[in-house]
C-alpha cells in the first residue's frame, strides 16, 4: 500500500488526519495514527491487520487517495479577461506619496523597506479622473463601485479627494459609489470632516494604542504628539458630526515590544475610543530590510492566553466579553479557513494553491503615476507587480502571471498537503522587485505550521462540543 495524501496531527485527546483529496479532517484510531506515522518515517513498515482494515475501510469511503494535481493552474485563468473587463468594483487611489508623519514601521518611511519610499509626488486630477473612467468602463457587471483614498497621507492632497468625489457625482450619477479612506487623522479639521461625513466616507484611522506607544511609533517631523491630534479630531466628530462616528474604525498596528495589557486596557477602557470598532494587525514583515521584529515574552504569553480564553468562550465556558478584542480576529480567521474556505470536493487534475486574490477581483490600486497594482500592500517598485496603467489598460500577461503565482513552485505545491488552504499570494513571493521561487518557498514552513495550529484548535473546539450553527444562531439573535 502506498502512502495516502494526508497529514497527521493530534490533540491532547485524539488523533486526526487531514485528507487532502477530500479536504476533510478525520478522527482515526490511535493504532492507525501510530502506524501511519511509522510508515511515514519508514517506507518498509508493514501495517498490522487491524490498522490495515481501518485503512481500507476509509479508502472504501473515498478517503486516503494518493492523487495529486497533474497541473498547477488557477481556475479563474480562462475567465480573467472577462472579470477585468466587466466586473471591476473597487479602486484605491494613491493620492499622494507625501506624509506628515515618519512612522517607525511604515513601508514608505525611514527606508526600512525595499518596496517604497515617501516622495513629494502627488496624483494629478487628470490621472485620478482617468482611473475613475477606467474603472467605470470595466465595471458593467458591478452595481456598486467603491473608491478608496490612500497615501502617503491622503488628507495632504484633500483638494484632489474633493475633486474626485465631485467628478463622480457629476459624471456618473446613475451608478452607486461608496468611498473609503485610510488616514492618520492628524490633519482632520471641521471642514474636512464635514465633507467626509456628507459623502458617507468609511474612515480607517491608524491608532496604535495609548499616547506613549502611538507617539513612539507614529512620530511627526515636528515632534508634536500625533495621538493628541487624533483625539482632538475625534472630539470634533463627537460634538459636530455624531452620526459620522459609526463610519470610523481604528487600525492598530501592534508593537510587539510593548505590554499586551497596555493595549488591552487602552482599547477597552479609554473613554474617547472604546465605542469605536478596532482592527488589530501585526507589523508587516514583507519586504522589510532587516528581520529584527522581535516579540516580547510578556506579549506572547498574554496573547496566547487570550487565544486560549477565546477557545473557552467559543465552547461556552466563559463570556465573550472576557476575551481581549486584540485576539478576536484570530478566531474569526481560523473559523473562516476551517468552515468557509475548506470546501469539500475532490482534488481534480488541475488546480492552484489558495492564496492569490484574483487581480482586480476585489480591487485595483492606482499609484500617483497611474500605474495599476493588485493592491496597496505590494511593492510598487517592482515591474512584475505593475499589472497595467490607467491609460494603456491591463497587461493581461502580468495579471495571469500573478494569478498563477504557484507555477513558480509547481513541483513543491503539487506534493504539499497545505496547498488547498495555502495563503501565499504574490506579496510573499517578491524580493527586490523579482518574483522568486526561493522567496515563496521560504514562507512554506510558516504556512504549514499555521495550518497545523488551526487544525489542532479546530479539532479541540469540536471535541468540546463547539457548534458552528449555534454560534451563528446566537450571534444572529443578539443582533
Partner 1 sequence: MLNSSLIFPYDMSDISILLHKNKFDCEIDYVLSLLSWGFCSKDAGYIFGVRTEKTVKDEKNFDSILEKVDTVILLNGTLCFDEVEFFLYAIKSIEKRKNLICLRKIDEKYIEILKCASKFYGVKFIYDWQHNMPCEISSNYKLISPKIPVIGIKGVAQNTGKFETLLSLKESFEKIGYSPLCISGKLYGEFFGINSYPMFMLDDKISVQNKILKLNYYINELCYSDNFDLILFEVPGGLYPVNDKVYENFSFQNFLVSNAISFDLSVINLLYENYDLNYFEWLKVNLKNKYSYNVFAYIISNNKINWDSIPTERKASYITIGSEYIKNWINTSEVPYNMCSVFDKEMFEKLAEELIAYLSDENSFDAI
Residues that bind partner 1 (CB under 8 A): 75, 78-79, 82-83, 86-87, 89, 136-144, 171-176, 348, 357-358, 361-362
Min CB(474)–partner 1 separation in Å: 18
Q: Which is nearer to partner 1, 154 or 361 (CB)?
A: 361
DSSP alpha helix (H) spans, 42-189:
49-60, 80-86, 125-137, 158-171
Q: Which is nearer to partner 1, 143 or 269 (CB)?
A: 143
Yes or no: say if 35 and 44 are a contact pair by the CB < 8 Å rule. Answer: no
Min CB(175)–partner 1 separation in Å: 4
Min CB(351)–partner 1 separation in Å: 11
Q: Which is nearer to partner 1, 63 or 227 (CB)?
A: 63
In this structure, which long-range contacts are made by residues 109-114, counting pairs with CB atoms below 8 Å and at least 24 apart in sequence? 111/289, 112/288, 112/289, 112/290, 113/287, 113/288, 113/289, 114/287, 114/289, 114/379, 114/381, 114/431, 114/432, 114/433
| Cα–Cα dist 423/55, whole Å | 31
| Cα–Cα dist 16/416, whole Å | 18
Q: Which is nearer to partner 1, 143 or 222 (CB)?
A: 143
Min CB(139)–partner 1 separation in Å: 6
H or E, element range at 331: helix 328-335
Distances (CA, A) of 323 to 35, 112, 318, 403: 40, 34, 9, 38
Min CB(26)–partner 1 separation in Å: 22
Q: Which is nearer to partner 1, 45 or 82 (CB)?
A: 82
| Cα–Cα dist 71/424, whole Å | 18
Distances (CA, A) of 277 to 204, 226, 242, 317, 400: 10, 20, 15, 25, 36
Q: Which is nearer to partner 1, 73 or 309 (CB)?
A: 73
263-297 as b/e: b if 16+ CB within 10 A: bbebbeeeeebeeeebebeebbebbbeeeeeeeee
Q: Which is nearer to partner 1, 133 or 410 (CB)?
A: 133
425-457 as b/e: b if 16+ CB within 10 A: bbbbbbbebebbeebbeebbeebbebbbebbeb
Min CB(422)–partner 1 separation in Å: 18
Q: Which is nearer to partner 1, 3 or 82 (CB)?
A: 82
For residue 3, give the 3-state DSSP assignment. coil
Min CB(356)–partner 1 separation in Å: 12
Q: Which is nearer to partner 1, 175 or 414 (CB)?
A: 175
Min CB(65)–partner 1 separation in Å: 16
Q: Which is nearer to partner 1, 317 or 362 (CB)?
A: 362
Min CB(79)–partner 1 separation in Å: 6
Q: Could you tell me the three cell numbers for 381?
A: 517598485
Min CB(86)–partner 1 separation in Å: 5
For residue 15, give the 3-state DSSP assignment. strand
Amino acid at each position: 500500500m502506498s502512502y495516502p495524501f494526508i497529514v497527521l496531527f493530534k490533540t491532547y485527546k485524539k488523533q486526526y488526519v487531514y485528507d487532502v483529496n477530500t479536504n476533510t479532517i478525520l478522527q482515526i484510531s490511535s493504532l492507525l495514527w501510530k502506524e501511519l506515522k511509522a510508515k511515514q518515517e519508514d517506507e518498509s513498515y508493514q501495517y498490522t491487520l487491524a490498522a490495515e482494515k481501518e485503512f481500507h475501510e476509509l479508502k472504501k469511503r473515498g478517503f486516503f487517495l494518493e492523487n495529486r494535481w497533474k497541473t498547477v493552474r488557477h481556475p479563474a485563468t480562462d475567465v480573467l479577461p472577462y472579470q477585468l473587463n466587466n466586473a471591476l468594483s473597487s479602486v484605491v487611489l494613491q493620492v499622494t506619496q507625501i506624509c506628515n508623519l515618519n512612522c517607525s514601521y511604515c513601508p514608505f518611511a525611514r527606508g526600512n523597506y525595499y518596496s517604497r519610499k515617501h516622495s513629494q509626488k502627488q496624483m494629478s486630477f487628470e490621472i485620478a479622473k482617468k482611473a475613475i473612467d477606467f474603472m467605470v468602463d470595466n465595471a458593467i457587471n458591478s452595481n456598486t463601485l467603491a473608491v478608496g483614498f490612500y497615501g502617503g497621507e491622503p488628507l495632504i492632497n484633500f483638494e484632489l479627494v474633493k475633486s474626485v468625489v465631485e467628478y463622480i457625482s457629476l459624471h456618473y450619477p446613475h451608478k452607486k459609489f461608496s468611498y473609503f479612506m485610510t488616514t492618520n487623522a492628524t490633519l482632520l479639521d471641521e471642514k474636512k470632516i464635514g465633507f467626509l461625513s456628507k459623502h458617507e466616507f468609511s474612515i480607517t484611522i491608524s491608532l496604535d494604542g495609548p499616547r506613549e506607544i502611538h507617539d513612539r511609533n507614529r512620530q511627526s517631523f515636528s515632534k508634536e504628539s500625533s495621538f493628541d491630534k487624533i483625539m482632538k479630531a475625534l472630539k470634533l466628530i463627537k460634538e459636530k458630526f455624531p452620526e459620522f462616528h459609526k463610519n470610523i474604525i481604528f487600525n492598530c498596528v501592534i508593537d510587539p515590544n510593548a505590554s499586551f495589557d497596555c493595549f488591552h486596557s487602552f482599547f477597552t477602557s479609554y473613554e474617547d475610543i472604546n465605542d469605536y470598532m478596532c482592527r488589530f494587525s501585526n507589523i508587516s514583515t514583507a519586504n522589510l530590510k532587516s528581520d529584527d521584529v522581535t516579540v516580547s515574552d510578556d506579549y506572547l504569553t498574554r496573547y496566547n492566553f487570550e487565544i486560549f480564553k477565546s477557545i473557552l468562550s467559543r465552547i461556552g465556558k466563559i463570556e465573550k466579553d472576557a476575551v481581549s478584542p486584540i485576539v478576536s480576529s484570530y478566531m474569526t480567521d481560523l473559523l473562516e479557513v476551517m468552515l468557509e474556505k475548506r470546501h469539500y470536493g475532490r482534488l481534480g487534475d488541475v488546480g492552484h494553491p489558495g492564496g492569490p486574490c484574483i487581480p482586480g477581483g476585489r480591487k485595483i490600486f492606482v499609484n500617483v503615476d497611474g500605474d495599476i497594482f493588485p493592491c496597496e500592500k505590494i511593492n510598487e517598485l517592482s515591474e512584475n507587480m505593475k499589472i497595467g496603467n490607467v491609460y494603456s489598460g491591463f497587461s493581461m500577461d502580468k495579471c495571469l502571471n500573478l494569478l498563477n503565482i504557484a507555477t513558480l513552485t509547481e513541483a513543491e505545491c503539487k506534493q504539499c498537503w497545505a496547498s488547498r488552504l495555502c495563503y501565499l499570494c504574490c506579496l510573499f513571493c517578491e524580493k527586490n522587485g523579482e518574483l522568486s521561487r526561493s522567496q515563496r518557498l521560504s514562507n512554506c514552513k510558516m504556512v504549514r505550521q499555521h495550518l497545523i495550529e488551526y487544525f489542532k484548535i479546530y479539532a479541540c473546539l469540536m471535541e468540546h462540543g463547539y457548534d458552528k450553527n449555534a454560534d451563528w444562531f446566537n450571534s444572529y439573535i443578539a443582533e
